[in-house]
């Protein structure tokens, strides 16, 4: 009897071993879904951004001190606490980002002083009744258009920035500067250069000041 039971058990084990062949024609489908978790944008910004323009016959050194010298059209920026001669923004997001930037200023701060884009303006340099400051702003070597307080260019037919169209819209081409592929720990460097018009002919005052507003937008670049 024991031998018979042993034989039956052995037969059952054999059946179990060979049973997968019975289901060989069945197809098992496995589906997997993935979600791309966008990293949080993390950037460091400059602590301060300031510059002075020099309308008189003096020389302003890199550290901001003044020496007698004929150099009355120089713009001197205070790039304090920065790594180089620029205001530096650093990407710490752990992934590449893209950045959009535009700048704006009041065109007429006083009745006799105006600040404009050095590259795109209708300033008459022969006009001896106005004091102009013409600025050239760049981000990583790309020109940043200086707009007025209504976000318009200084041209005979002004173009107005349309934020509703989107930061990356072609409609804002030439008004918003877009920098792509800023790698992790990569940097954006903002610089200002420029000169004054009629610097030696008119009296400049303490009220001849200008504030430049910078507006930035950062976005993580999703992998292709």
Which sequence spans correspond to the domains of the chain? Answer: 43-220
Residues 6 or more apart in contact with residue 55 via CB below 8 angstroms: 72, 73, 131, 196, 199, 202, 204, 208
Is the pLDDT at 58 greater than 70? The verdict is no
pLDDT tens, position by position, 101-119: 999 998 766 667 888 899 9
Does the pLDDT of residue 6 top 80, yes or no? Answer: no
Q: Residue holding tokens 């990583």?
A: 140
Tell me the pLDDT of the chain averaged across its residues.
Answer: 80
* Residue 103 phi, psi (nearest 5): -130, 150
pLDDT above 90: residue 204:
no
Q: Which of 5-9, 14-18, 126-130, 147-151 has the highest mean pLDDT?
A: 147-151
Identify the pLDDT of residue 96: 94
Residues 112, 122: Cα–Cα separation, whole Å? 16
Contacts of 36 by beta carbon, 8 Å cutoff, 6+ apart: 222, 223
> What's the whole-number mean pLDDT along residues 125-154?
90
Average pLDDT over residues 158-162: 93
H-assigned helices in 25-125: none
Q: Which helix (H) or strand (E) holds 216?
A: strand 213-220
pLDDT at 74 over 90: no
Residue 98 is predicted with a pLDDT of: 94
For the full predicted model, state whether its pTM sits above 0.85. no
Q: Which of 137, 130, 142 is nearest to 197 (CA)?
A: 130
- Rama region for 141: left / alpha / beta (φ>0; ψ in -120 to 50; rest): left
- The share of the chain scoring above pLDDT 90, in percent, equals 39
Please say whether the beta carbons of 75 and 192 come within 8 A: yes
Q: DSSP code of 39?
A: P
Q: Under a CB-based contact definition with an 8 Å cutoff, are residues 171 and 30 in contact?
A: no
Residue 161 to residue 174: CA distance in whole angstroms: 9
Q: Within 10 Å of residue 32's Cβ, how many Cβ atoms?
A: 4
Q: Which of 56, 31, 124, 47 is nearest to 90 (CA)?
A: 47
Query: With contact defined as beta carbons under 8 Å apart, do 71 and 162 qualify?
Result: no
Q: Which of 189, 187, 183 is nearest to 220 (CA)?
A: 183
- Please report which confidence band the pLDDT of residue 55 belongs to, taking 50, 70 and 90 as the band edges: confident
22: pLDDT strictly greater than 70: no
Interatomic CA distance for residues 139 and 49, integer angstroms: 14
Which sign does the torsion angle of CA 124, 125, 127, 133 carry?
positive
């Amino acid at each position: 009897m024991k031998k018979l039971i042993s034989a039956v058990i052995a037969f059952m084990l054999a059946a179990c071993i060979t049973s997968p062949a019975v289901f060989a024609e069945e197809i098992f489908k496995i589906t997997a879904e993935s979600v791309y978790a966008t990293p949080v944008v993390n950037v460091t910004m400059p602590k301060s951004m300031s510059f002075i323009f020099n309308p008189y016959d003096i020389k302003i050194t890199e550290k901001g001190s003044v020496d007698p010298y004929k150099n009355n059209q120089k713009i001197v920026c205070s790039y304090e606490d920065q790594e180089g001669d620029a205001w530096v923004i650093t990407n710490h997001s752990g992934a590449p980002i893209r950045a959009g930037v535009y700048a704006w200023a009041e065109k007429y701060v006083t009745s006799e002083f105006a600040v404009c884009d050095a590259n795109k303006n209708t300033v008459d340099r022969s006009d001896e009744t106005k004091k102009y400051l013409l600025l050239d702003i760049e981000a990583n070597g790309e020109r940043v258009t200086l707009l007025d307080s209504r976000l318009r260019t200084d041209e005979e037919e002004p173009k107005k920035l349309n934020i509703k169209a989107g930061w990356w819209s072609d409609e804002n081409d030439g008004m918003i500067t877009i920098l792509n592929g800023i790698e992790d720990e990569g940097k954006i460097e903002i610089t200002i250069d420029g000169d004054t018009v009629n610097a030696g002919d008119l009296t400049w005052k303490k009220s001849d000041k200008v504030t430049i507003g910078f507006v930035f937008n950062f976005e993580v670049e999703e992998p292709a």
